[in-house]
């Protein structure tokens, strides 16, 4: 009898892995690090810029009232008068932060929320203004959301097998008849991760992934430009069961002309 060789079975899916790249040149490495720095620094700069503009507007309009108070205080404590200008600016900045805090407190009231939503609906009808207002607002809401609002970062193959996406597992349901375990998954969109789709996925099709919530937000907002060199998955065993995965890898810039750095 002639023996027939059998093909080895296809190994089970071992998770998401990145294709290794050769070591980049110094120019590509500097370019990659520079873009990573921009993505890290620009949001903070925009926030500081907005606060400084508000402080400058407040200083121009209310500074005339603040300045005499500051000068009277300097006379009282016998400090040099040259400190009047920087102290006036400092008081204006403090009042700006106080104003932002007060706006946050007032936004909890029903009537103020209705007025804010009315203003937002008006702004959202203006095409160009809508882009510059809505996108930063939704990104900030996502970045400052409570940790409890997102259960766990997961990976699944959607919209078909072989195409992977990042999502958030938010709950578990047992579908009857059959008592099948279904995971409710929120699949965010790019670049606005607060919009997306609610999916009900069989638990066996959901995979835990070694990515933090913050890194997942950056990954989605950047459209994959900021991503780890590799990702590891594990079977999803429930929201109450911590996954056994290696620590998350740091995000690096991945561009068509920028090759990622090899692990040493």
- Could you tell me the residue ranges of all domains in the chain? 26-143, 147-253
Instruction: Name every residue whose Cβ is closer than 8 Å to that of residue 167 and which is 6 or more positions away in sequence.
Output: 153, 154, 155, 156, 158, 185, 186, 187, 188, 199
Task: Write down the pLDDT at residue 100.
Answer: 79
1 — pLDDT class (breaks 50, 70, 90): very low
Between CA 163 and CA 170, with CA 167 as vertex, the angle to 5 degrees is: 140
Task: Write down the pLDDT at residue 27.
Answer: 75
Q: Which of 89-103, 118-132, 148-162, 234-248 shows the highest mean pLDDT?
A: 234-248
Arithmetic mean of pLDDT, 94-105: 81
Q: Does the predicted TM-score (pTM) go above 0.85?
A: no
Tens digits of per-residue pLDDT, 137-154?
665 665 555 555 556 899
Give bridge partners of residue 170 from the DSSP assignment: none
* Segment among 48-52, 184-188, 232-236 with least mean pLDDT: 48-52
Tens digits of per-residue pLDDT, 233-249?
999 988 888 888 888 88
Task: Write down the pLDDT at residue 260.
Answer: 44
């Amino acid at each position: 009898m002639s023996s027939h060789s059998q093909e080895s079975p296809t190994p089970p899916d071992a998770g998401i892995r990145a294709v290794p790249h050769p070591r980049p040149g110094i120019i590509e490495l500097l370019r990659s690090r520079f873009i990573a720095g921009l993505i890290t620094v620009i949001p903070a700069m925009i926030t500081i810029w907005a606060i400084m503009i508000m402080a400058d507007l407040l200083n121009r309009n209310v500074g005339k009232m603040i300045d005499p108070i500051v000068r009277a205080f300097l006379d009282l404590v016998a400090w040099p008068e040259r400190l009047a200008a920087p102290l006036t600016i400092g008081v204006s900045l403090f009042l700006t932060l106080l104003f932002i805090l007060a706006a946050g407190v007032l936004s909890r009231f029903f009537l103020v929320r209705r007025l804010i939503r009315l203003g937002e609906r008006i702004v959202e009808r203006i095409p160009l203004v809508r882009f510059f207002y809505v996108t930063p607002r939704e990104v900030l809401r996502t970045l400052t959301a409570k940790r409890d609002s997102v259960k766990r970062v997961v990976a699944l193959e959607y919209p078909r097998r072989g195409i992977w996406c990042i999502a958030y597992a938010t709950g578990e349901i047992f579908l009857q008849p059959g008592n099948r375990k279904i995971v409710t998954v929120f699949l965010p969109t790019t670049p606005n991760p607060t919009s997306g789709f609610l999916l009900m996925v069989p638990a066996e099709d959901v995979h835990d992934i070694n990515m933090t919530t913050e890194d997942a937000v950056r990954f989605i907002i950047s459209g994959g430009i900021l991503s780890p060199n590799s990702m590891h998955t594990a079977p999803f065993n429930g929201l109450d069961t911590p996954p056994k995965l290696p620590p998350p890898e740091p995000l690096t810039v991945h561009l068509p002309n920028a090759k990622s750095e090899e692990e040493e």
